[in-house]
A and B are shown apart, each in its own frame.
Chain A
Amino acid sequence: MEKSEKSELLVAALENGTVIDHIPSNKVFDVVNLLGLTGINTPITIGANLNSRKMTSKGIIKIADRYFSEDECSKLSVIAPNIVLNIIRDYEVVEKKRISLPDEVRGIVKCGNPKCITNHEPMQTVFDVVDKNNGTLRCRYCNKDIYKDAIKLL
């Protein structure tokens, strides 16, 4: 407990903005890319390999003065279904958003089948989410399934 309080103090508390918590450490930069954080001008703090009671290690991203739409949040569910978004207003957590997989995933994930048309044409990928609990996606073009751990982003 003491340790985690210390690590919390390493970064300043947010007045307003979003704290994305419980990111698997190896997915932190996928989250950065998916949300387009490299193009944001407000202060951002990125933490990885932090101690966590729920996970062996986790990442946290704090973004000042920025909130994310449902669409943006649902993108994250593809790579890390247990992420929590804390919405901060005036130093208080006013909402904890848990995310869930949408019914379809467009233009985020790469099809793992090298013979799929989506890997050869300049076109958008589309996946149907066939198993929300296990995070299984099915390519709408070649019908091949991709399982959670094999998901690669475009």
Chain B
Amino acid sequence: MDQTGRSLISLEGLDREDILWLLGHAARFEASPNSKILDGKIVATLFFEPSTRTRLSFETAVNRLGGRVIGFSDAATTSSSKGETLKDTIMMVSNYADLIIMRHYLEGAARYASEVSPVPIINAGDGANQHPSQTMLDLYSMLKTQGRLDDLNIYLVGDLKYGRTVHSMLTAMRFFNPTFHFISPDELRMPDEYKEYCRNNGIRFEEHSSFDEDTIADADILYMTRVQRERFTDLMEYERVKDMFILKNDMLRKTKPNLRILHPLPRVNEIAQDVDANPKAYYFQQAKNGLFVREALICNALNLLK
């Protein structure tokens, strides 16, 4: 595994075997999530931008493995609000912690931190750039519900233009011969550079502009994302399309029995409440899987996995 030290900045350096190896460890942590493997370790969670969901997941992972957590959840309370550089904050915290888990609003912040830090860094999201633990838990959820990652029919729905998670999924899935289906409003279509990436890597894809029960009938995975108002330059267009990309329970009638619905959360209205009771809804378990995946990523960063 070719990472900067043991840091995890993006999934780019990981190959098929690395990904499956990490997911295998995540499954072991799911079988026994509590242990003392991090006994005596201190992990810093530096959240320069609030993200309660991700922070709680990482901190729970550390706590369940017997480690201790220091850190902050909002940069407004730290020296960076006084103008301290990121480098100085990292150098200071690395005196205290064995591992730094960092969320930052600037893109590339995690890579830079990993270059200056003497302890490993796990990127918990850097702006619109990378969020590798989210992608890993998405893959873990697909593997767990489908029994395989190979040859899946994956439907990505919603904001495919700005959605960080859908872009990371394309690149991480390149080893597994997927067929992607892109369903989005015109303004939020998958950018050309990612379609080009698919072509260059032999990834099949189809684009759809309508979202209905026939379009998704063949899906193994339905990956929903939020269509946000602020992404539209034309608000008339937003008003026109906002209700066209909402998943409702009656749209699932023709879908395959193995279909599972994923969503990175938080959900607003893109999945109707009546879907929650459908056994194909998987987004809450998906979030729970994040815990096991993060246990694996933390232990890997500290070189504790065999």
Contact = CB atoms under 8 A, between A and B. Distances in A.
A115 B86 CA distance: 14
A142 interface: yes
Interface string A116-152: 1110111100000000000000011111110000000
A113 interface: yes
Interface string B182-205: 000000000001000000000000
Contacts of A117: 86, 104, 106-109, 111-112, 126
Contacts of B106: 115-117, 120
Nearest to A142: B107
A105 to B, nearest CB: 16
Contact of A116 (B86, B87, B107, B193): B107
B14 interface: no
Interface string B93-105: 0000000000011
B111 A115 contact: no
A154 B107 CA distance: 19
Nearest to A141: B108
A116 B108 contact: yes
B112 A115 contact: no
> For the side of the interface on A, what is the size category?
10 to 19
Interface string A60-78: 0000000000000000000
Contacts of B129: 142-143
B233 to A, nearest CB: 18
B14 to A, nearest CB: 16
Nearest to B9: A141
A140 B112 CA distance: 9
B24 interface: no
B285 interface: no
B109 A123 contact: no
Contacts of A142: 107-108, 127, 129
A121 B109 CA distance: 9
A131 to B, nearest CB: 12
B108 A118 contact: yes
B128 A121 contact: no
A115 B105 contact: yes
Interface string B112-151: 1000000000000011111000000000000000000000
A115 B109 CA distance: 10
Contacts of A118: 108, 112
A113 to B, nearest CB: 6
A116 B126 CA distance: 10
B85 A141 contact: no
Contacts of B128: 115
Contacts of B105: 115
Nearest to A119: B106
Given A113-B107, A122-B85, A141 B127 contact: no
A70 B183 CA distance: 49
Contacts of B112: 117-118, 121, 123, 141
Contact of A139 (B87, B108, B127): B108
Given A121-B87, A142-B129, 15 more contacts: A115-B106, A116-B106, A117-B106, A117-B109, A117-B112, A118-B112, A120-B86, A121-B86, A122-B85, A123-B87, A140-B108, A142-B107, A143-B107, A143-B129, A143-B130
26 contacts: A113-B107, A115-B105, A115-B106, A116-B106, A116-B107, A117-B86, A117-B106, A117-B107, A117-B108, A117-B109, A117-B126, A118-B112, A120-B106, A121-B85, A121-B87, A139-B108, A140-B108, A141-B108, A141-B111, A141-B112, A142-B108, A142-B129, A143-B107, A143-B108, A143-B130, A144-B107
